[in-house]
Structure 1
Amino acid sequence: MADDDDKPKKHTLDTLFHVYCNHKVIPTELENEEFNSILLSQLDAWLEQAKLMPNPITRTQTGLIYMRYKKWRLEYEDFLEVLQVLSTESEINYDEFKETLVNAGPPTGATDIVVVK
Protein backbone atom coordinates (compact mmCIF):
# COMPACT_ATOMS: atom_id res chain seq x y z
CA MET A 1 0.00 0.00 0.00
CA ALA A 2 2.87 2.40 0.67
CA ASP A 3 3.81 2.20 -3.02
CA ASP A 4 0.47 3.79 -3.95
CA ASP A 5 1.37 6.90 -1.94
CA ASP A 6 4.56 7.36 -3.99
CA LYS A 7 2.81 7.29 -7.36
CA PRO A 8 1.91 10.67 -8.86
CA LYS A 9 -1.83 11.15 -8.73
CA LYS A 10 -3.72 12.16 -11.86
CA HIS A 11 -5.76 15.35 -11.80
CA THR A 12 -9.52 15.25 -12.10
CA LEU A 13 -11.81 17.97 -13.37
CA ASP A 14 -12.58 19.18 -9.86
CA THR A 15 -8.92 19.28 -8.73
CA LEU A 16 -7.95 21.20 -11.86
CA PHE A 17 -10.90 23.54 -11.25
CA HIS A 18 -9.36 24.38 -7.86
CA VAL A 19 -5.95 24.96 -9.47
CA TYR A 20 -7.39 27.32 -12.10
CA CYS A 21 -9.48 29.16 -9.46
CA ASN A 22 -6.24 30.16 -7.77
CA HIS A 23 -4.13 30.79 -10.89
CA LYS A 24 -3.12 34.38 -11.71
CA VAL A 25 -5.06 35.84 -8.81
CA ILE A 26 -4.34 39.49 -8.04
CA PRO A 27 -2.84 39.68 -4.56
CA THR A 28 -5.16 41.00 -1.87
CA GLU A 29 -4.69 41.96 1.74
CA LEU A 30 -5.48 38.36 2.63
CA GLU A 31 -2.18 36.77 1.71
CA ASN A 32 -3.18 33.12 1.99
CA GLU A 33 -6.70 33.41 0.62
CA GLU A 34 -7.82 30.45 -1.48
CA PHE A 35 -10.64 30.58 -3.97
CA ASN A 36 -13.16 27.84 -4.70
CA SER A 37 -14.77 29.66 -7.61
CA ILE A 38 -13.49 30.60 -11.06
CA LEU A 39 -13.20 33.92 -12.90
CA LEU A 40 -14.06 34.28 -16.59
CA SER A 41 -10.40 35.00 -17.40
CA GLN A 42 -9.34 31.79 -15.64
CA LEU A 43 -11.93 29.77 -17.54
CA ASP A 44 -10.74 31.28 -20.83
CA ALA A 45 -7.11 30.50 -19.94
CA TRP A 46 -8.07 26.88 -19.29
CA LEU A 47 -9.93 26.64 -22.62
CA GLU A 48 -6.91 28.13 -24.41
CA GLN A 49 -4.57 25.63 -22.76
CA ALA A 50 -6.92 22.84 -23.88
CA LYS A 51 -6.72 24.28 -27.42
CA LEU A 52 -10.49 24.80 -27.50
CA MET A 53 -10.19 28.57 -27.88
CA PRO A 54 -10.44 30.50 -30.20
CA ASN A 55 -11.87 27.63 -32.20
CA PRO A 56 -14.44 26.03 -31.65
CA ILE A 57 -15.16 28.25 -28.59
CA THR A 58 -14.76 32.04 -28.59
CA ARG A 59 -14.23 34.57 -25.80
CA THR A 60 -17.48 36.26 -26.76
CA GLN A 61 -19.30 32.96 -26.35
CA THR A 62 -17.84 32.27 -22.90
CA GLY A 63 -18.45 35.87 -21.83
CA LEU A 64 -22.11 35.81 -22.81
CA ILE A 65 -22.73 32.50 -21.03
CA TYR A 66 -20.73 33.56 -17.95
CA MET A 67 -22.61 36.86 -17.60
CA ARG A 68 -25.95 35.02 -17.33
CA TYR A 69 -24.92 34.17 -13.77
CA LYS A 70 -24.49 37.84 -12.76
CA LYS A 71 -21.55 37.17 -10.45
CA TRP A 72 -17.79 37.62 -10.65
CA ARG A 73 -16.88 34.05 -9.79
CA LEU A 74 -18.65 30.78 -10.53
CA GLU A 75 -18.75 27.83 -8.15
CA TYR A 76 -18.06 24.32 -9.43
CA GLU A 77 -21.74 23.49 -10.07
CA ASP A 78 -22.17 26.67 -12.14
CA PHE A 79 -18.94 25.87 -13.97
CA LEU A 80 -20.32 22.45 -14.95
CA GLU A 81 -23.47 24.14 -16.27
CA VAL A 82 -21.31 26.50 -18.37
CA LEU A 83 -19.43 23.50 -19.79
CA GLN A 84 -22.74 21.85 -20.66
CA VAL A 85 -23.93 24.96 -22.53
CA LEU A 86 -20.58 25.36 -24.31
CA SER A 87 -20.56 21.72 -25.39
CA THR A 88 -24.11 22.01 -26.74
CA GLU A 89 -23.47 25.31 -28.57
CA SER A 90 -20.16 24.10 -30.02
CA GLU A 91 -21.46 20.60 -30.81
CA ILE A 92 -18.77 18.94 -28.69
CA ASN A 93 -19.56 15.75 -26.75
CA TYR A 94 -19.87 16.80 -23.08
CA ASP A 95 -17.78 13.92 -21.70
CA GLU A 96 -15.08 14.42 -24.35
CA PHE A 97 -15.09 18.14 -23.57
CA LYS A 98 -14.46 17.47 -19.86
CA GLU A 99 -11.77 14.92 -20.74
CA THR A 100 -10.04 17.48 -22.98
CA LEU A 101 -9.95 19.94 -20.07
CA VAL A 102 -8.48 17.30 -17.75
CA ASN A 103 -5.87 16.35 -20.35
CA ALA A 104 -4.85 20.01 -20.66
CA GLY A 105 -3.45 19.76 -17.14
CA PRO A 106 -2.57 22.58 -14.77
CA PRO A 107 -1.89 26.08 -16.14
CA THR A 108 1.37 26.47 -18.05
CA GLY A 109 3.89 28.22 -15.86
CA ALA A 110 1.95 27.48 -12.69
CA THR A 111 4.29 26.92 -9.78
CA ASP A 112 1.66 26.04 -7.20
CA ILE A 113 1.87 22.56 -5.77
CA VAL A 114 -1.59 21.10 -5.40
CA VAL A 115 -2.33 18.05 -3.33
CA VAL A 116 -4.59 15.74 -5.29
CA LYS A 117 -6.69 13.55 -3.04
Structure 2
Amino acid sequence: MADDDDKPKKHTLDTLFIVYCNYKVISTELENEEFDCILLSQIDAWIEQAKLMPNPITRTQTGLLYMRYKKWRLEFEDFVELLTQLASENDLVFDEFKQLLVEAGPPTGATDIVMVK
Protein backbone atom coordinates (compact mmCIF):
# COMPACT_ATOMS: atom_id res chain seq x y z
CA MET A 1 0.00 0.00 0.00
CA ALA A 2 1.73 3.11 -1.23
CA ASP A 3 -0.68 5.37 0.69
CA ASP A 4 0.74 4.21 4.02
CA ASP A 5 4.08 5.85 3.18
CA ASP A 6 2.39 9.26 2.91
CA LYS A 7 0.73 9.09 6.33
CA PRO A 8 2.55 10.74 9.24
CA LYS A 9 4.17 8.15 11.47
CA LYS A 10 3.16 8.05 15.11
CA HIS A 11 5.65 8.45 17.89
CA THR A 12 6.43 5.68 20.34
CA LEU A 13 7.96 5.95 23.78
CA ASP A 14 11.45 5.25 22.44
CA THR A 15 11.23 7.78 19.57
CA LEU A 16 9.93 10.47 21.91
CA PHE A 17 12.73 9.57 24.33
CA ILE A 18 15.28 10.66 21.69
CA VAL A 19 13.33 13.88 21.04
CA TYR A 20 13.34 14.74 24.74
CA CYS A 21 17.02 13.78 25.11
CA ASN A 22 17.81 16.59 22.70
CA TYR A 23 15.29 19.10 24.07
CA LYS A 24 16.69 22.26 25.67
CA VAL A 25 20.26 21.07 25.42
CA ILE A 26 22.83 23.71 26.26
CA SER A 27 25.07 24.29 23.26
CA THR A 28 28.40 22.61 23.46
CA GLU A 29 31.47 23.02 21.36
CA LEU A 30 30.40 19.99 19.37
CA GLU A 31 27.82 21.09 16.86
CA ASN A 32 25.29 18.58 15.61
CA GLU A 33 25.85 16.36 18.63
CA GLU A 34 22.83 14.15 19.24
CA PHE A 35 22.14 12.73 22.67
CA ASP A 36 20.64 9.33 23.34
CA CYS A 37 20.41 9.71 27.12
CA ILE A 38 18.03 11.93 29.10
CA LEU A 39 18.51 14.52 31.83
CA LEU A 40 16.29 14.96 34.89
CA SER A 41 15.05 18.35 33.62
CA GLN A 42 14.00 16.71 30.34
CA ILE A 43 12.12 13.95 32.18
CA ASP A 44 10.33 16.56 34.29
CA ALA A 45 9.42 18.57 31.18
CA TRP A 46 7.96 15.46 29.56
CA ILE A 47 5.95 14.43 32.62
CA GLU A 48 4.73 18.01 32.99
CA GLN A 49 3.64 18.10 29.34
CA ALA A 50 1.68 14.90 29.99
CA LYS A 51 -0.10 16.86 32.76
CA LEU A 52 1.09 14.44 35.46
CA MET A 53 3.16 17.03 37.30
CA PRO A 54 2.81 18.46 39.94
CA ASN A 55 -0.03 16.06 40.67
CA PRO A 56 0.31 13.08 41.13
CA ILE A 57 4.08 13.17 40.39
CA THR A 58 6.34 15.82 41.94
CA ARG A 59 9.77 17.12 40.95
CA THR A 60 11.07 15.98 44.33
CA GLN A 61 9.91 12.46 43.60
CA THR A 62 11.54 12.34 40.16
CA GLY A 63 14.71 13.91 41.56
CA LEU A 64 15.06 11.37 44.34
CA LEU A 65 14.54 8.45 41.95
CA TYR A 66 16.90 9.94 39.38
CA MET A 67 19.70 10.43 41.92
CA ARG A 68 19.65 6.70 42.77
CA TYR A 69 21.26 6.03 39.40
CA LYS A 70 24.29 8.23 40.16
CA LYS A 71 24.56 9.23 36.50
CA TRP A 72 24.34 12.58 34.75
CA ARG A 73 22.08 11.15 32.00
CA LEU A 74 19.94 8.01 31.92
CA GLU A 75 19.87 5.49 29.10
CA PHE A 76 16.48 4.31 27.80
CA GLU A 77 16.49 1.14 29.95
CA ASP A 78 17.13 3.17 33.13
CA PHE A 79 14.45 5.65 32.06
CA VAL A 80 11.86 2.86 31.69
CA GLU A 81 12.88 1.52 35.11
CA LEU A 82 12.41 5.01 36.59
CA LEU A 83 8.95 5.21 34.99
CA THR A 84 8.08 1.83 36.49
CA GLN A 85 9.05 3.09 39.95
CA LEU A 86 7.08 6.33 39.48
CA ALA A 87 4.00 4.39 38.37
CA SER A 88 4.28 2.05 41.35
CA GLU A 89 4.73 4.86 43.89
CA ASN A 90 1.76 6.81 42.50
CA ASP A 91 -0.67 3.91 41.98
CA LEU A 92 -0.61 4.41 38.21
CA VAL A 93 -1.02 1.55 35.75
CA PHE A 94 2.36 1.40 34.00
CA ASP A 95 0.98 0.89 30.46
CA GLU A 96 -1.47 3.78 30.91
CA PHE A 97 1.36 5.96 32.26
CA LYS A 98 3.49 5.19 29.19
CA GLN A 99 0.51 5.90 26.92
CA LEU A 100 -0.01 9.31 28.53
CA LEU A 101 3.63 10.16 27.86
CA VAL A 102 3.30 9.09 24.21
CA GLU A 103 0.08 11.08 23.82
CA ALA A 104 1.82 14.16 25.26
CA GLY A 105 3.90 14.18 22.08
CA PRO A 106 7.06 16.16 21.38
CA PRO A 107 7.94 19.07 23.65
CA THR A 108 5.83 22.17 23.13
CA GLY A 109 7.85 24.72 21.24
CA ALA A 110 10.41 22.19 20.04
CA THR A 111 11.45 22.81 16.48
CA ASP A 112 13.41 19.64 15.89
CA ILE A 113 12.04 17.24 13.32
CA VAL A 114 12.73 13.63 14.16
CA MET A 115 12.31 10.83 11.67
CA VAL A 116 10.10 8.12 13.09
CA LYS A 117 10.51 4.69 11.54
Give TM class, smaller chain: over 0.9
Question: CA offsets per residue over residues 38-69 of structure 1, 9 Å max, x none?
Answer: 00000000000000000000000000000000
Letter in 2 for 1:28: T
The corresponding residue for 2:83 is 83
The aligned residue for residue 100 of structure 2 is: 100
User: What is the CA distance between 1:26 and its match in structure 2?
Assistant: 0.2
Give the AA of the match of 2:6: D
Q: Matched residue of 1:92: which SS?
A: coil
Counterpart position of 2:59? 59
Aligned to 1:16: 16
Structure 2 counterpart of 1:60, one-letter code: T
| Unaligned ranges ≥5, structure 2 | none
The offset of 1:21, in angstroms, is 0.2
Give the corresponding residue for 2:48: 48
Structure 1 residue runs of 4+, over 4 Å off? Answer: none
* Partner-residue secondary structure (3-state), 2:33: coil
2:57 is equivalent to residue 35 of structure 1: no
Question: Following the alignment from structure 1 to structure 2, what is the Cα–Cα distance between the partners of residues 80 and 65?
Answer: 12
Aligned to 1:116: 116
TM-score by length of 2: 0.99
Q: Residue 44 of structure 2: SS of its match in structure 1?
A: helix
SS in 2 for 1:110: coil
Q: How far off its partner does 1:8 sit?
A: 0.3
1:72 aligns with 2:72: yes
Deviation at 1:81, TM superposition (A): 0.2
Q: CA deviation at 1:2?
A: 2.2
Residue identity matched to 2:61 = Q
The one-letter amino acid of 2:68's match is R
Q: TM-score, normalised by structure 1?
A: 0.99
Identity %: 79
Number of equivalences: 117
Cα RMSD (Å) of the superposition? 0.5
Q: What amino acid does structure 1 have at the position aligned with 2:81? A: E
